[in-house]
Amino acid sequence: MATGKALLAGLDNEQIWAMYGQGTLERLTPTTLSTVDKLIAQLDVIRTGGFAYDIEEHALGSCAIGLPIGIFGTTQLAVSVVIPTERYQEQKVIIENALRLSANDFAQRIDK
């Protein structure tokens, strides 16, 4: 879900509302975002901070960190890493740095 959030952050809120409507979102785990309002709140954070997080929202026992890749002036791609929950906190900064390097390298190679 981190990859999906990273890609959705490239859309504006009107587009998100058009896609999901006013209803609730399907819950896959107890920590899955349950409303469009909550999703948009996270997308706003991603838009300013860059990283998308999935903390056991898709599957219990796994976390993910995603990063949108801007090419040709828009977000068209994203990269993410999934990690077991028990290793998430100790590896978070390392993964973020690796994703940032990978995304920048990829964008430079494509966006020419």
pLDDT band at 1 (very low <50, low <70, confident <90, very high): confident
Structure tokens at 6: 């990273």
- Give the pLDDT score at 85: 97
CATH number of the CATH domain containing 54: 3.30.450.40
Number of independent structural domains in the chain? 1
CA 62 centroid distance within chain: 14
Domain that residue 94 falls in: 2-110
Please write the tens of the pLDDT for every residue from 31-53: 999 899 999 999 999 999 889 99
| Greater model confidence, 112 or 68 | 68
Structure tokens at 47: 């838009």
